[in-house]
Structure 1
Amino acid sequence: MSPSLAFLLLALAPAFAQNDTAARLARAFAAIDRAATASTAPGMVVGITDRTRTLKIGAYGYANLNSKTRITPETLFEIGSVSKSFTAISLMELFDEDRFDPQEPVAKYLPWFALKSRYRAITGHDLLTHTSGLQNYRPDLASMPFAALSLRDFEPSYAPGEHYWYSNLGFQVLGYVLEHIDAAKYDTIVQRRILNRLGMSATHAAIDDALRARLPQSYSHWPYTGEFTEEPWFEYLAADGSIASTAGDMTAYARLILNRGVAPSGRLLSERAFAQLTRPTLNSYAYGLFVRQDDGDTVIQHGGGIAGFQTLLEMHMQDGFGIIAMGNGGLDRELVQFAIASVKAALRDKPLPDPPARPSSAAITNSGDFAGLFSSGARSLEFSAAGNRLTLKQSGASIPLLRVQGDTFRVESGILAEYYFVFTRNAGKVTELSYGPDWYTSKAYTGPKQFDTPPEFAAYAGRYVNHNPEEGAVHVFVRKGQLFLATGTGPGQRLLPAGPATFRPGAPEFNPERISFDSIVEGHALRLLRSGMPMYRMDLR
């Protein structure tokens, strides 16, 4: 080979490699589109970017199931807790300007912030990393400043920095810190500091009534029918989840992180600030972002959910790509993970993964494990297995069960959809069944069947409601002598005593949330306080 030919081939090698990568990515994108056709999510977008440009935006399904209005690449979605990183980045800009120090007490910047605490003062770092010890959320005070002020009555159960406990309230407080320092409203600050710099012209940092008509209808699964039902509308203005954006704008945001704080117009964050932003602490959480090592790469990501909308933002720093997935009725997690794996395989010149298998939730390969009669005194439930199907026999009918996960099942619709059927094993064999407050045993069960129940528990059992749009009702019941609280159709979480008429969820041991009961009339508590949120007895039957 002549020297000139060798030089030419060497010069052309990067172009050949680039073309080969583009071809592999094109095959990956086509595979993602094919897999999306099997999705049952109402509507969804998937955006993919490298460090310089948006590579793909796929739009699937419907913005409105009734009108059959299609999702488009320009559809606006509420991004929920992905907003937290916008708050963190804005504060780290102030850090670069020597106007905010995350190691200083929050009260330095927000004088009215106070707790009933015997521990050291909470810092910005504590709030940014969810290690402050604050409770999670007040749905009844969603994005209202009083939610932060109400913390003056909160008594932390451990010192800041000891444990990780996700706190939306903590990020709401950070938003008020940001407003106090920068002397402007949160949405104005985010617009000026981030959105304008990145050209995110379609993004809004306040979810208000004026924005409603531009958003798709959002949905959730109604457990009694299995259908998608419309989520109620509500405004949201606080710094833990007030942003709505498009796939195109969010790929621009992903590039800011892929480029370590560098925007198209120059540095938005210093290298020092970006390193602090992405330095993980407890539970792999940094400042408004999860950071983990996975398959030889640093992965920076966060999810979000609000009013039926769900979002996942994920950046693979060494492979050099980011993905944004947004849905208006939950996310098709299998599709999103397939998309991530496909792009990674294309960039690494590996074979594409198989598309999601999507087995039917009615296909229960170990159905025989759960077949048989389960009894509770004079009552009983009988389950039958045939092939890969499990059914509940009731009043001459056979009701199919669908797997939720593991040994937990549900029925598709009807009154029995009120709770999950949760089977328990002993030495690998199914011996117990829980259905809300009801507890049954199989003939293989050899443990006790009588339990001492504190007499005051009878006053607490019941259904409690708060008419806010995010969290409607909870059920409190006694099972095996223990008190449980269940939200939705879930199996319930055990409540452990934490003071007079006060309890904490059983896990983890340091859980700062508190449940208390009061206003007992004719043997029934009429009010439940769930981490400060009042809920009132409203029994259906």
Structure 2
Amino acid sequence: MDVQRVLSGLAEQLRTWWPVPGITISVVDGTGESAFVTAGCANAESGAPVSRRTRFEIGSISKTFTAFLLGILADEGKVDLDAAVADHLPWFAPNGGSRAITVRHLLQHTSGLVAGADALPDAAARGYALCDAKTWAEPGELFHYSNEGYNLLGLIVEQVTGESLADAMAGRLLRPLGMRDSAARITHEGIAELATGYRFLRDDRPPLPSAPLAPAGFFEYSAADGNVLATASDLGLFARMLLGRGTLDGTRIIGPERFRQIVTVPGDAVSSGYALGVDVEVIDGHTWLTHAGGMVGYRSYLAVDTDGGHGVVVLTNAPGESQIIDRFARHVLAVVQGAPADPALFDPERIPDAQRYVGIHGTTPRQICVEATGDDRLSLTSDEVTGRLYDAGDGRLVCDHPGWSAYHHSLDGRWLYGPESLGPSPSAPTAPPHALAGHYRSYTPWYPSFSIVQRAGRLHMIAATGVEAPCDEPELVPLDDGTFRIGADPRLPERLTSGPALDGAVLWVDLDGCRYTRSFRGQPEPWEAPVRSSHTRSWRCASSMASASASASASASAKSSPETSRIRRNR
């Protein structure tokens, strides 16, 4: 098999179906890089192509680097992974001064801390904001992915080494691995050869596969949950170190026992597969080490089969929430190891387990008919208009029907769509409008906006886009203290606090320290007049992006339009 040709074809097919401006793939084995593929643009406006020197922000794959760095520091005797976090950060006193949370709990995402706190951009400020945090799960009891926990780990690195996280990581990992084109801090001074990141032009509705993009905008970043930028070939060196179980070309990077601890999921672990900074999976009897990475404007994936002897790195400047990249990268690793190439696995019109969606959902007058149209494709008909359903890449569906495009679609016994729960009978009596119901937005680029809807008598938070936005449309559970827990599990730490109401509508809410204000108060919501998009788009750099840019410019000139306000506020 001509691996280079096959992977090039898969990459181009991915870009035909999904909004991926540029992509680079590195395939490695124990002896070196066996294949390298690029496609598309590092900058879609100029048409500059992705090259071997193009760098990408690798997002949460940085957590794997952080875990290995702490393992190295443990071997040096500078840190004990089972020590209390407060031993290194004395100001960290959650739950009234408890010392129960350990370094290992942070590494395993079992501390019980919030997933993210996006109000403060600086690592030290973010960490200190948790000094008196409250948790509702005992440490080690609940796997709850936490960027904030890894930010604290970076502060611990700085405390025990007396160096910045970037210097400590470069000295103990990047330079020993030969990652010369990478950096452990994202700064203006270090953006040479950095691909331009892209976001969805609209953040208020689920993106179709044809959704136009816009430049995401650059910002500096140094926290340990997402501090690394790298080329694909450089990250391939890290993958080869994983294949070598802590060694690269005869150079030992980390001790063998420490490596084993990092990539081993304890038998009593509450996570099904997360060890220390890395997902551990068993696929057809082989152990895979994987991690996804999402930044504002970038989606990446690292996958290594330690038994099969191959690793794959996929870096893109697609929107950070584009989980289809993860599926694509996993397929690339399977293909490299002998599986037949199957582009249908990431065809957005092919719906996994499509037949289960087929049927009539809802009752008159709010009713939809979902039909199979062949080859796992689905259509949705309502009010004598038919639209197409697409795989959103995250377990949900999106639709181009003009009346059913404002929210994601999912099926959980009943057909769920925004505030609607469609089944053979009405879900619940219509309740009076809740003061919280509406659309909210903030200036944070990670999670720019969300809607609060009333569904079957309960409030749910729904986000159309956003790197850190939840995909499960969590319930808002009212608590005795007047706040709302985000999610049904009583051990979850995220809280939403309502601000003041004016004319029966809440003006703003606080989400774990980040304030969101209601949008379009007293006006029709912008999704009440949806626009149908074309079915497919082939991302061909400057031409397609110029079209999106022209569209945005035209909207910006119509200052009286609510849509204009929405786009301008998101820049």
Q: Which TM bucket (shorter chain)?
A: 0.7 to 0.9
Indicate which of 106, 111, 114 corresponds to 2:93: 114
Q: 1:249 to 1:401 in 2, by over 3 A?
A: closer
Alpha-carbon distance, 1:122 to partner:
1.1
Indicate which of 430, 434, 437 corresponds to 1:458: 434
Partner residue, 1:420: 408
CA contact (8 A) 1:463 1:476 kept: yes
Indicate which of 157, 163, 173 corresponds to 1:178: 157
Alpha-carbon distance, 1:77 to partner:
0.7
The structure that has the greater radius of gyration is 1
Alpha-carbon distance, 1:361 to partner:
4.0
Partner residue, 1:380: 366
Q: 1:268 to 1:392 in 2, by over 3 A?
A: same
Q: 1:259 and 1:407 mapped to 2: Cα distance?
A: 34
Q: 1:392 and 1:260 mapped to 2: Cα distance?
A: 53
Q: 1:260 and 1:363 mapped to 2: Cα distance?
A: 38
Partner residue, 2:399: 411
Partner residue, 1:20: none
Q: 1:304 and 1:173 mapped to 2: Cα distance?
A: 19
Partner residue, 1:150: 129
Q: Deviations over 1:335-363 (max 9, x none)?
A: 42332112222xxxxxx424222575446
- Local SS of the residue matching 1:512: coil
- Any gaps of 5 or more consecutive residues in structure 1? 1-25, 346-351, 426-431
CA contact (8 A) 1:392 1:401 kept: no
Is 1:467 aligned with 2:456? no
- Local SS of the residue matching 2:112: coil
Indicate which of 258, 265, 271 corresponds to 1:273: 258
Partner residue, 1:33: 8
Q: 1:197 to 1:423 in 2, by over 3 A?
A: closer
Q: 2:98 and 2:435 mapped to 1: Cα distance?
A: 35
Q: Deviations over 1:454-482 (max 9, x none)?
A: x8x72222222211122111111212211
Alpha-carbon distance, 1:79 to partner:
0.4
Partner residue, 2:279: 290
Indicate which of 242, 245, 262 corresponds to 1:257: 242
Q: 1:512 to 1:398 in 2, by over 3 A?
A: same
Indicate which of 37, 44, 49 corresponds to 1:70: 49
CA contact (8 A) 1:43 1:60 kept: yes
Q: 1:448 and 1:299 mapped to 2: Cα distance?
A: 43
Q: Deviations over 1:225-282 (max 9, x none)?
A: 6223322322211111011001111111112222222244632212222222222243
Q: 1:369 to 1:111 in 2, by over 3 A?
A: closer
Indicate which of 389, 399, 402 corresponds to 2:390: 402
CA contact (8 A) 1:197 1:263 kept: no
Q: 1:54 to 1:491 in 2, by over 3 A?
A: closer
Q: 1:434 and 1:289 mapped to 2: Cα distance?
A: 33
Summarize the alignment of residues 205-284 of structure 1 with structure 2, pairs less than 5 Å apart: 205-221=184-200, 222=202, 223=207, 226-264=211-249, 266-281=251-266, 282=269, 283=271, 284=273
Alignment-mate amino acid for residue 208 of structure 1: T
- Local SS of the residue matching 1:139: coil
The answer to which of 53-62 and 164-173 deviates more is 53-62
Alpha-carbon distance, 1:126 to partner:
0.8
Q: 1:449 to 1:93 in 2, by over 3 A?
A: closer
Indicate which of 492, 500, 510 corresponds to 1:511: 492
Q: Deviations over 1:463-514 (max 9, x none)?
A: 2221112211111121221111111166732222333322223344532222
- Local SS of the residue matching 1:458: coil
Q: 1:138 to 1:478 in 2, by over 3 A?
A: same
- Any gaps of 5 or more consecutive residues in structure 2? 466-470, 525-571
Is 1:435 aligned with 2:417? yes
Q: 1:523 to 1:103 in 2, by over 3 A?
A: same
Indicate which of 128, 137, 141 corresponds to 2:120: 141
Q: 1:257 to 1:414 in 2, by over 3 A?
A: same
Alpha-carbon distance, 1:75 to partner:
1.2
Q: 1:357 to 1:144 in 2, by over 3 A?
A: same
The alignment's TM-score, normalised by the length of structure 1, stands at: 0.83
The answer to which of 246-255 and 227-236 deviates more is 227-236
Q: 1:299 to 1:518 in 2, by over 3 A?
A: same
Indicate which of 309, 319, 322 corresponds to 2:311: 322
CA contact (8 A) 1:422 1:491 kept: no
CA contact (8 A) 1:130 1:170 kept: yes
Q: 1:53 to 1:408 in 2, by over 3 A?
A: closer
- Local SS of the residue matching 2:163: coil
Q: 2:350 and 2:99 mapped to 1: Cα distance?
A: 53
CA contact (8 A) 2:57 2:228 kept: yes
The answer to which of 262-271 and 360-369 deviates more is 360-369
The answer to which of 54-63 and 225-234 deviates more is 225-234
Alignment-mate amino acid for residue 327 of structure 1: T
Alpha-carbon distance, 1:370 to partner:
5.0
The number of residues matched between the two structures is 495
The answer to which of 398-407 and 333-342 deviates more is 398-407
Q: 1:409 to 1:305 in 2, by over 3 A?
A: closer
The answer to which of 525-534 and 175-184 deviates more is 525-534
Alignment-mate amino acid for residue 274 of structure 2: Y
Summarize the alignment of residues 188-207 of structure 1 with structure 2, pairs less than 5 Å apart: 188-207=167-186
The answer to which of 307-316 and 279-288 deviates more is 279-288
Q: 1:333 to 1:369 in 2, by over 3 A?
A: closer
Summarize the alignment of residues 53-132 of structure 1 with structure 2, pairs less than 5 Å apart: 53-117=32-96, 120-132=99-111
Q: 1:244 to 1:413 in 2, by over 3 A?
A: farther
Q: Deviations over 1:48-80 (max 9, x none)?
A: 111231111111222122332211222101100
CA contact (8 A) 1:32 1:338 kept: no
Q: 1:95 to 1:416 in 2, by over 3 A?
A: same
Alpha-carbon distance, 1:293 to partner:
2.6
Partner residue, 2:565: none
Alpha-carbon distance, 1:532 to partner:
2.6
- Local SS of the residue matching 2:337: helix
Q: Deviations over 1:99-153 (max 9, x none)?
A: 1101111111122222134755211111111111111111222443211111124
Alignment-mate amino acid for residue 366 of structure 2: S
Partner residue, 1:357: 344
Q: 1:387 and 1:247 mapped to 2: Cα distance?
A: 39
CA contact (8 A) 1:198 1:264 kept: no
- Indicate the RMSD between aligned Cα atoms, in angstroms: 2.9
Q: 1:421 and 1:296 mapped to 2: Cα distance?
A: 35
Q: 1:28 and 1:235 mapped to 2: Cα distance?
A: 36
Q: 1:67 and 1:145 mapped to 2: Cα distance?
A: 37
Q: Deviations over 1:291-349 (max 9, x none)?
A: 2332222222211110121111122112222111111114544542332112222xxxx
- Local SS of the residue matching 1:197: helix
Indicate which of 473, 480, 499 corresponds to 2:480: 499
The answer to which of 355-364 and 153-162 deviates more is 355-364
Q: 1:158 and 1:387 mapped to 2: Cα distance?
A: 46
Is 1:520 aligned with 2:501? yes
Q: 1:241 to 1:353 in 2, by over 3 A?
A: same
- Local SS of the residue matching 2:129: helix
Q: 1:322 to 1:475 in 2, by over 3 A?
A: same
- Local SS of the residue matching 1:357: helix
The alignment's TM-score, normalised by the length of structure 2, stands at: 0.79
- Local SS of the residue matching 1:91: helix
Which structure ranks higher in relative contact order (CA pairs < 8 Å, sequence separation ≥ 6)?
2
Is 1:306 aligned with 2:295? yes
Q: 1:531 to 1:413 in 2, by over 3 A?
A: farther
